[in-house]
């Protein structure tokens, strides 16, 4: 026989109260989650552009919060695959292996171009060199050439600064400028564009590359490549050799807050900020 009543058990009224409380809590969490956007990935996009876009977006959507982590494109794509972010920022295309990994987890890597960028090759502003060819850029960054005198400079051992391996710019530059060859053995890997610009600005023999948004840093100058400088016009016309699209990756078509933010980014308001920060608008 079972006991009909147990005083240690909650009464029906108490159960109803707890259930109501839980429902309210859950609603509250859902509500908070819906107004919070987690964005991870590219330092190129995440250091300046996306925070400024987020600020503007928040002004139009009060109550929205952003969690932005800019640790390289690889981390952004991985975050979409793992489901730990709604938007993955990337300055490169997802690799075949990443797309395959996403598919195996039921994810669909959907790219949205948010801006164009030109990867500028920078040297110290005191460096007398006036320009480089594509071949010379390849030779410098692969270590085939180690002295400035070999590329028309005044002499001195070349110090190569690159991004670290999780950076989309790191792999994009290999593909665009180095025929996918490895970087020179002695190249120094920096965490972000600003660090590269800073190091090259301090080192008269330094050379590196940064996104267009960082070309105005002090102590550096951008090199014309085969006579072309990265500019809005040359990048939009795809005539500058080291141009590239930059992306938001989402799991399939974005929805909810993520869709709103993507739409804002590619809309006129967002593209205005894109131009202000130093990137090239998509239209």
Partner 1 sequence: MKKLTLAAAALCVALGGTAARAQDAGALLDLLVKKRLISDQEAEEVRSELVKESASTAAGKWKLSAPITELELYGDVRLRYEYRGGRTPSEHTDNPNDWYERERERYRLRVGLRGTLADDWFFGIRLETSASSRSTNVTFGGEPSGGPFAKGDDGIFVGQAYFGYTGFPDFKFTGGRMPQPLIVTSMLWDDDINPEGLAEQWKHTFTFDLGGGGGEAVQSYSKGGYSKDGKVVAAPAAEPFKLKLDVFANFAQYVYDDTNPENPIGPRPTTTGNNTGNNQLVPQTDAFMMAWQVGARLTFPNSIYVQLAPTLYNYTGNGDSFNIHFVGGNPALSNSASLATNQTGINSLLVFDLPAEVGWKAWGLPMRIFGEFADNIEGHDRAHAAADLGGFDAHTGQHYAWMIGGALGQLKAKNDWEIRAWYQYAGQYALDPNLVDSDIFDSRVNQKGVAVKAGYMVADAISLNLTWAYAWRINGALGTGGLGDIQVNPLDQYQIFQADMSVKF
Q: Which is nearer to partner 1, 109 or 145 (CB)?
A: 109
Q: Which strands make up the sheet holding 120-124, listed edge to edge?
A: 188-190, 159-163, 206-210, 120-124, 220-222
> Out of 170, 247, 261, 279, which residue is the one contacting partner 1 (CB under 8 A)?
247
Under rule CB under 8 A, residue 275 binds partner 1: no
Question: Looking at 22-30, 76-84, 100-108, 196-204, which segment touches partner 1 (CB under 8 A)?
Answer: 100-108
Q: Which strands make up the sheet holding 65-70, listed edge to edge?
A: 65-70, 36-41, 87-90, 243-251, 109-118
> Out of 120, 206, 245, 254, which residue is the one contacting partner 1 (CB under 8 A)?
245
Under rule CB under 8 A, residue 103 binds partner 1: yes
Size of the site for partner 1 (CB under 8 A): 23
Which residue from 251, 141, 233, 241 is spatially nearest to 185, judged by alpha carbons?
141
State the binding string over 180-199 for partner 1 (x if CB under 8 A, else -): xxx-----------------
Q: Which is nearer to partner 1, 55 or 182 (CB)?
A: 182
217 exposure class (CB count in 10 Å sphere: 0-12, 13-18, 19+):
middle
> Are 111 and 93 a contacting pair, CB within 8 Å?
yes
Residues 6+ apart with CB under 8 A from 158: 140, 145, 146, 147, 148, 205, 207
CA separation for the pair 170, 5 (Å, rounded) = 70
Under rule CB under 8 A, residue 100 binds partner 1: yes
Residues paired with 269 in a beta bridge:
none
Under rule CB under 8 A, residue 77 binds partner 1: no
Write down the least CB distance from residue 208 to partner 1, Å: 21
Question: Looking at 35-43, 45-53, 54-62, 97-105, which segment touches partner 1 (CB under 8 A)?
Answer: 97-105
Under rule CB under 8 A, residue 271 binds partner 1: no
Under rule CB under 8 A, residue 176 binds partner 1: no
Under rule CB under 8 A, residue 54 binds partner 1: no
Write down the least CB distance from residue 99 to partner 1, Å: 5
Which residue from 218, 166, 225 is spatially nearest to 197, judged by alpha carbons?
218
Question: Looking at 8-16, 67-75, 98-106, 158-166, which segment touches partner 1 (CB under 8 A)?
Answer: 98-106
Q: Which is nearer to partner 1, 157 or 180 (CB)?
A: 180
Query: Quick one: tokens of 266?
Result: 């590619």
Q: What is the Cα gyration radius of the chain?
A: 24
> Are 108 and 204 a contacting pair, CB within 8 Å?
no
Write down the least CB distance from residue 27 to partner 1, Å: 36
Residues paired with 35 in a beta bridge:
none
Under rule CB under 8 A, residue 259 binds partner 1: no
Under rule CB under 8 A, residue 282 binds partner 1: yes
Chain Cα centroid distance, residue 84: 16
Give me the residues that bind partner 1 (CB under 8 A), please: 93-94, 96-97, 99-100, 103, 108-113, 116, 174, 179-182, 238, 245, 247, 282
């Amino acid at each position: 026989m079972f006991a009909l009543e147990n005083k240690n058990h909650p009464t029906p009224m108490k159960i109803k109260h707890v259930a109501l409380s839980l429902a309210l809590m859950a609603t509250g969490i859902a509500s908070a989650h819906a107004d919070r956007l987690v964005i991870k990935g590219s330092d190129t996009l995440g250091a300046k552009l996306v925070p400024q876009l987020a600020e503007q977006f928040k002004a139009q959507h009060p109550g929205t919060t952003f969690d932005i982590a800019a640790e390289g494109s690889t981390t952004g794509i991985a975050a979409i695959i793992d489901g730990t972010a709604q938007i993955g920022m990337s300055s490169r295309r997802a690799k075949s292996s990443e797309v395959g990994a996403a598919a195996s987890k039921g994810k669909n890597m959907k790219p949205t171009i948010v801006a164009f960028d030109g990867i500028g090759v920078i040297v110290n502003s005191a460096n007398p060199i006036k320009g480089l060819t594509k071949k010379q850029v390849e030779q410098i960054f692969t270590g085939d050439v180690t002295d400035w005198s070999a590329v028309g400079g005044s002499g001195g051992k070349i110090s190569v600064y690159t991004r670290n391996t999780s950076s989309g710019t790191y792999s994009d530059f290999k593909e665009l400028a180095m025929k996918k060859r490895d970087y020179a053995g002695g190249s120094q890997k920096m965490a972000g564009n600003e660090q590269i610009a800073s190091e090259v600005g301090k080192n008269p023999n330094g050379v590196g590359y940064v996104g267009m948004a960082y070309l105005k840093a002090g102590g550096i100058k951008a090199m014309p490549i085969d006579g072309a400088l990265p500019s809005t016009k040359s990048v939009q016309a795809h005539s500058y050799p080291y141009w590239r699209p930059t992306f938001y990756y989402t799991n399939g078509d974005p929805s909810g807050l993520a869709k709103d933010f993507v739409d804002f980014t590619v809309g006129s308001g967002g593209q205005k900020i894109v131009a202000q920060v130093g990137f090239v608008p998509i239209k």
